[in-house]
Structure 1
């Protein structure tokens, strides 16, 4: 079994649907990107203790295609925290062949800014 995980819990676990397939029989990159943005947004909002917005996607890399019958697990962890921003490292693992194989399919770094009630950047709350 090939694996890129170390017994951690995914932020999201999703199965692509037939409408998510491109002309090559793989899952659209945009669909995968949206799942990554959702997962990283969950982690960033928890860390910021409030609303956040995606401001950058860095070092995005598609490593292997996602297939229709794959189950994808999206893992996310805080990489760094700035004054108003939070960078989240994302890794996506596809489980194939009824759970017999795990393949790392993509990874990236998503940066969010914490937002105030007027949708303007605000400092990230820090423990004293």
Structure 2
């Protein structure tokens, strides 16, 4: 059975956009290779951090939503820790209410983009 997960990670701001996309693709491929399915991906862009992390005050935020077996999370977080580009990450399992809300929110995001 696949569980619903969301992970947000912050990539160091000294990278170019291409390098950030490469890092994101690496983590997406890791999820897919281990039996997961990508549901949604959002690039939140360069944002100011609430407090300095590794002497950096900004970072590129990225959100990935996916369905995967539970053992994928351990592999994903191990890769986050090993990758020097990632300065922070948070992964959590969505319950049915949070998953329904994320689908509703994703639908609203798409309709807002279509209006513009």
> Which structure's relative contact order is higher, taking Cα pairs within 8 Å and 6+ residues apart?
2
Q: Which structure shows the bigger proportion of residues in helix conformation? A: 2
Higher radius of gyration, 1 or 2: 1
User: Do the structures match in fold with TM over 0.5?
Assistant: no
